[in-house]
Structure 1
Amino acid sequence: MARLKVEISVPAGHVEAVIDALHAAGAGQVGEYTRCSSVWQVTGTWQPMDGSHPYDGDIGAIRQAEERRIESVCDAEQARGVLNAVRAAHPYEEPVINFLPLYEP
């Protein structure tokens, strides 16, 4: 079974809601443990363009702010459900949600 690492950038005030959605969709299972994740402080940079509806920032202005990077794992078969659940809980118009294949010898 293929496993994926899930990485999500989110404002600090939304970490728990996104983690709840992530794990409700089945991510975070490691052996006999569940709800496994890590949270890192990061700095995000973005520039909203015409037609966007930014959660934070103004159209055309470069914005930089503290965010949190949530990392967890899921099975490849769970990825679509995890993606949909995280998007529904995430405040950003275009959330950064990465799925990276894991090498497991």
Structure 2
Amino acid sequence: MEPMDCLVIYVPTVAAQAVRQAIGDAGAGRLGNYSHCSFSAEGTGRFTPLPGATPAIGAVGSPEEVPETRIEAIYPRSRRSAVVNAALAAHPYETPAFMTFAIDVGVPGGAGPAD
């Protein structure tokens, strides 16, 4: 089984569906006979655009709070560039907050979900 990674990305809630669709189309969220699988949680994003920023929301020097959605999806490590690039292309922010990390999808003492 190919190594798997996870993408976690924070998106303004109004753009969450577009980002979920883009990463799913790029290969994230494939589990067995399912595609576009992800988990989302709602929250509040906070930031202050600094001089030189071109914010999609808010103004330079002014603290901002935005309803955001945390999206999590797993993907085969070989799809990392495609998934991250799709997420960034669909995301409205100038500098999206995201992380990727390796995960273990194996079942202890048994086969993994794709085996």
Please give the range of the TM-score, normalised by the shorter of the 2 chains: over 0.9
TM-score (norm. length: structure 1):
0.93
Q: Which runs of 5+ in 1 are unaligned?
A: none
Aligned residue pairs total 105
Amino acid at match of 1:19: R
Q: Which runs of 5+ in 2 are unaligned?
A: 107-115
1:13-69 Cα offsets, whole Å, 9 max, x none, are 111111111011011011221110111101111110011001111111221221001
1:20 is the counterpart of 2:21 = yes
Which sits farther off after the overlay, 75-84 or 56-65? 56-65
1:81 is the counterpart of 2:90 = no
**How do residues 1-105 of structure 1 correspond to structure 2 at under 5 angstroms?**
1-105=2-106
- State the distance in 2 between where 1:74 and 1:45 align: 28
State the 4+ residue runs in structure 1 displaced beyond 3 angstroms. Answer: none
What RMSD in Å do the two structures reach over aligned CA positions? Answer: 1.1
1:77-104 Cα offsets, whole Å, 9 max, x none, are 1011111111111100001121121123
Larger Rg over CA atoms: 2
- SS of match in other structure, 1:21: helix
- Larger relative contact order (Cα-Cα within 8 Å, sequence gap ≥ 6): 1
Counterpart residue number, 2:112: none
- State the distance in 1 between where 2:26 and 2:105 align: 22
TM-score (norm. length: structure 2):
0.85
- SS of match in other structure, 2:6: strand
- SS of match in other structure, 2:34: coil
- State the distance in 1 between where 2:100 and 2:46 align: 20
- SS of match in other structure, 2:71: strand
Identity %: 33
